[in-house]
Amino acid sequence: MKLISLEISDIKILEPEVYSDERGEFFEAYNYKKICELLGGGVTFVQDNQSLSKKGVLRGLHYQINPCAQGKLVRVVRGEIFDVAVDLRRSSPTFGHYVSYNLSSDNKKQIWIPAGFAHGFLALSENVEVLYKTTGYYNPLCERCIKWDDSTIKIKWPKGIGKTLSNKDMDGKNFKDTEYFD
């Protein structure tokens, strides 16, 4: 597995080694020991989540506040997404900045998003399945949502794809009104 750093250095892309032959493909999607070596410490996942989204569905920007903050290891098992993470750590030099990356079942890459970030994605293809591991359990009392089109963050979402949002995501807060991490 290869580690790729993004503009926000705490966000990492994990690229598996894929073995292909006439029968198909094989790759190791998760190995606790390798993940710990690559990310520099013990990362314990406690929950797996899977979503199915139609093209144009935008999910996010979600996060959970302390004591329920979650790190996420996100991958696409079918289709393609435009994935986004926003830094909510006040003490970080990249506070309020975001990174984006296209994840797909074709490129087989995963993104590591540590606690302290909001996360969201836009489904770029039909019937996208996203699987993500979390380091904390879901708690609806700790869940928060930032507006996907917040004018402070200014995410450059892909053009030409209509966006379908849940009521919860449409009611997300402005970045300046969110709860941050210290």
What are the pLDDT tens digits along the chain (182 aa)?
899 999 999 999 999 999 999 999 999 999 898 888 888 887 899 999 999 999 999 999 999 999 999 999 999 999 999 999 999 999 999 999 999 999 999 999 999 999 999 999 999 999 999 999 999 999 999 999 999 999 999 999 999 898 999 999 999 999 999 999 98
- Which residues, in sequence order, are CB contacts of 95 under 8 Å at separation 6+? 87, 88, 89, 180
**Structure confidence at residue 78 (pLDDT):** 98
> Could you give phi then psi for residue 34, rounded to 5 degrees?
-65, -40
> Exposure string (b/e) for 5-43, b if CB count within 10 Å is 16 or more?
eeebebbbbbebeeeeeeeeeeeeebeeeebeeebeeeb
In this prediction, residue 37 carries a pLDDT of: 87
How many CA atoms are closer than 13 Å to the CA of 171, on its beta-carbon side?
4
What pLDDT shows up at residue 59?
A: 97
Looking at the DSSP bridge assignments, the partners of residue 103 are 81
As a whole number of angstroms, the distance between CA 58 and CA 166 comes to 8
Are the C-beta atoms of residues 178 and 144 closer than 8 Å to each other?
A: yes
Instruction: Tell me the two tokens of residue 49.
Output: 């989540």
Identify the pLDDT of residue 41.
Answer: 80
pLDDT attached to residue 25: 92
Q: What amino acid positions are annotated as catalytic residues? A: 62, 132
Based on C-alpha coordinates, what's the Rg of the chain? 16
Q: How confident is the model at residue 178, as a pLDDT? A: 92
Rounded Cα distance, 114 and 116, in Å: 6
